[in-house]
Amino acid sequence: MRKNRLFVLAQVCWLLLVASCTVGHSGRPAATTAAIPTKEQVGASQLPADIAPVRAPFTMPAFRKPSFPAYTRSIVEQGAHTGAKVTAEIQATIDEVSQHGGGTAVVPAGKWHTGRISLKSNVNLHLDEGAELYFSGEVKDYRPAVFTRTEGVEVMSLGACIYANGQQNIAVTGKGKLIGPTQGGSVRKQTMTHDVVENVVLASTPVAQRVYEGHNGSIVFPPMFISPINCRNVYIEGVSLENTAFWNIVPVYCDGVIIRGVTVNSVGIQRGDGIDVESSRNVLIEYCTLSCGDDCFTIKAGRGEDGLRVNMPTENVVVRYCLAREGHGGITCGSETAALIRNLYVHDCVFDNTGVGIRFKTRRSRGGGGENLTYERLRMNLKATAFHWDMLGSATHVGALASRLPALPITPLTPHFANNTARHILVEQASQFVKVEAIPETPLTNVLLENIEVNAQKLFTGADLQGFTVRRATLRTAAAQITLLDARQVLFEEVKFVVPGNAVQATVTGDKSADIRFKNCEPQKPANWSQPTWNKQH
């Protein structure tokens, strides 16, 4: 607790320092920042008792812990005992508490085995310390099919291990552990893996007819771990999750979500995302520790035509004081972006041993995109790129749409990313500083990276970008090459390049490229330029 208070005090001091314009020995603003947290200062082990006020660059509600009536029932009182499947007893406890007007349904210490369970309004499902809840690996334990969303497409299938639909004031709390469906069971054997979901579930098929229950060995869409859908005031705190069959914590179409102090381990599990916020709003994620087989913290908003039909954005999301230990991306927007991701604020987090640090993904066929995305005071130790915008994807998933050219007509399925800002970022290690793979019909627009310190192998590659500024940065890279294609209004300002031979090489191609500038940099310009500004006539 004392460490947290000291950390908050340090933040305040740093913000005051920034406001007065921190300067280095040269008289220019310093590239790096103080008070960027270390991994010992964030994550589930540092969870404070109370929720501190949220301050974001957009309006957020006041987040408070939920309150529940004092009424408490244990699953043991419904006849649950270890060594047997206790799905019915757990569900009966939840139902009884809800019908009584609300309260707490307790899973005591011990090893308990269950199928899918459904949360009900005004119920806190509490796992005592030492409680281990093992979820079945058999499809039959998740029937009948329920309404859910899989990879941004609505279906009737297995839902989630802990499921809720249309409920309010619900919670999953405690220091207990959730263990996902066993390997080798029918859930994993029958999971659809042969194609992308939009080729299997056609947008023209009514949702009520998109039923995948897995009878006679037919395909299913695997259960997420915890997924409330169409719910209000959702609270998840303290629990640990491991061995998921699919994404771990996934609020869908929810309003008012708090996720704090959660620990996830899905390393080695394909599509084992940590926390996916999907078409939800007013979300706070704090003090979580994620080690994942896919992306760690992920923001989504529906996929392609089905996502456009639903048209529910994800908006007003704050992620703070979290630790990503392993995963494809520390924080990722997409690739399901149809209804738009907007108003995301990620601050005071550490990505330690993840792949990409800050990742933006969408595809030509996905629609929407992301805008007003802000990142501050992040520490990153990475296997891959620090900042990666990928709007093309691979031919395996989207076919010819993965080819940059020809530029395609703009349609409702054309995505975009715009107004992305990152400040006070320390990249201790990465394979590359920036990689932009946008699309010519909607270039990446209006990006600001400032007060950045980077240690990486490669420097900067970018295709199809407009309005990209790197300001007050120290970039230490093993390679000195900047490569730009159809890039315009690109500015490097007060950037110190620490590169071999103290000589940056910049290659600019493409008919649309224009206005590439180096201003007050060290060195002052690329070695292969005659002046600090590149234009078509240069």
- pLDDT 10s digits, 191-214: 999 999 999 999 999 999 999 999
pLDDT at 536: 82
pLDDT digits (tens, 9 = 90+) for 43-62: 999 999 999 999 999 999 99
3-state secondary structure 260-301: ECCEEECCCCCCCCCEEEECCEEEEEECCEEECCCCCEEEEC
**Cβ partners under 8 Å of residue 217, min gap 6:** 186, 190
Q: 141 is written with which tokens?
A: 């334990």
Cα–Cα dist 196/209, whole Å: 19
Per-residue model confidence as pLDDT tens digits over 159-170: 999 999 999 999
Q: Give the chain's mean pLDDT.
A: 94
CA distance 79 to 98: 18
Report the first-to-last Cα separation within the chain, whole angstroms: 58
Measured CA to CA, the distance from residue 431 to residue 85 in angstroms comes to 48
Sheet holding 224-229, edge to edge: 117-118, 160-165, 224-229
Ordered by start, the domain boundaries in the chain are: 2-30, 41-294
- When pLDDT is cut at 50, 70 and 90, the band that residue 397 belongs to is confident
d(CA 384, CA 457): 10
CB-based contact 481:505 (threshold 8 Å): yes
Q: Residue 345 and residue 318: Cα distance in Å, rounded? A: 5
Level-2 CATH architecture, domain 41-294: 3 Solenoid (2.160)
> Taking the CB of residue 401, how many other CB atoms lie within 10 A of it?
16
Instruction: Please state the pTM of the whole predicted model.
Output: 0.94
What are 189's two structure tokens?
A: 């054997």
Residue 8 to residues 36, 141, 218, 314, 503: CA-CA distances in angstroms? Answer: 11, 46, 53, 28, 40
- pLDDT per residue over 106-117, tens digit each? 999 999 999 999
pLDDT > 90: percent of the chain:
92
Pairing state of beta strands 160-165 and 117-118?
Answer: parallel
